[in-house]
Amino acid sequence: MENTQNCSMPLLGDRMPEFTVLTTHGMKSFPNDYAGKWIVLFSHPGDFTPVCTTEFVAFAKREAEFKKLNAELVGLSIDQVFSHIKWVEWIEEKLQVKIPFPIIADDMGNVAKKLGMLHPGKGSNTVRAVFLIDPNGVTRLMIYYPQEIGRQVDEVLRALKALQVADANKVALPENWPNNELLKDKVIVPPAKDVETAAKRKGEKNSYDWWFVYKDLK
C-alpha cells in the first residue's frame, strides 16, 4: 500500500508539476524549458526490453511529424542515464534508427511518483504512460497502457492533431477524426445552450438534432 500512497496522478487541465531532471541530452527543467511548445512525455517500463524498443523506434521515425505540430518528444524510465545511453547506441547500431529526443533518467522514481507512472503490483517499473502537455504547461491528455501491450504511436500523433484543431476552432472532434465512419473529417459544433438556439438548429442542413450539429473544417 505504501507505493499507492506515494504515487499521485495529475488531472486533465492541471499544470504539469515542475521538476528538473537529468536526460540523455543533459539537464532539463519541465515544463519551463519547453515553454511555447507541446510536449509528448511518455514513460516505458525499462531499457533493453523488446516492446519498449519497438515503441522508441516508432516515436523516432515520426519525430519530424511531431515537430511539424510544434511538439517535442521526451521519454522516461526508472533507469540510470548510462543505461539510456547504451540502449540508444544499441538501437542505432542494430536497428539503424537514431533516437533524436531526450530520455529522462528517473532512477530515483521521483518524477514517476508525481505523475502516477508506478503501479504497486508491477515492482519499480513504470507503466506505459503518455502525457500531452500544451504550450502553457497544462496537461491535456493522458493515456495509460499495461506493460504487456505496446502503444500505437500514430494514435498519439492523431490525438495531438485533434487537440490542436479543437483548440484553434472551438469545436469537438468525433471518434477517430479525421476518419470517422459517420462524419468523415467533419467537426462537431458545440451544443446549443439555450432554447432559442436549439430551436434554430433543428432544421439546419448539417444537423441530426439540435444537440448534434456538424460542419466542414475550413
Strand order, beta sheet including 212-215: 187-188, 212-215, 207-209
How many other C-beta atoms can be found within 10 angstroms of the C-beta atom of residue 2?
7
DSSP SS3 for 33: helix
Residue 42's DSSP bridge partners are: 75, 130
Residue 72's DSSP bridge partners are: 39
User: Regarding beta strands 207-209 and 103-105, do their DSSP bridges make them parallel or antiparallel, or are they unpaired?
Assistant: unpaired
DSSP SS3 for 182: coil
Across 26-164, where does the E strand assignment appear? 26-30, 38-43, 71-77, 103-105, 128-133, 139-145
Give catalytic status of residue 52 as yes or no: yes
Across the chain, where does the E strand assignment appear? 19-23, 26-30, 38-43, 71-77, 103-105, 128-133, 139-145, 187-188, 207-209, 212-215
Unique residue bearing C-alpha cell 512525455: 41
Q: Check 16, 21, 41, 52 and give the catalytic one.
A: 52
Active site residues: 52
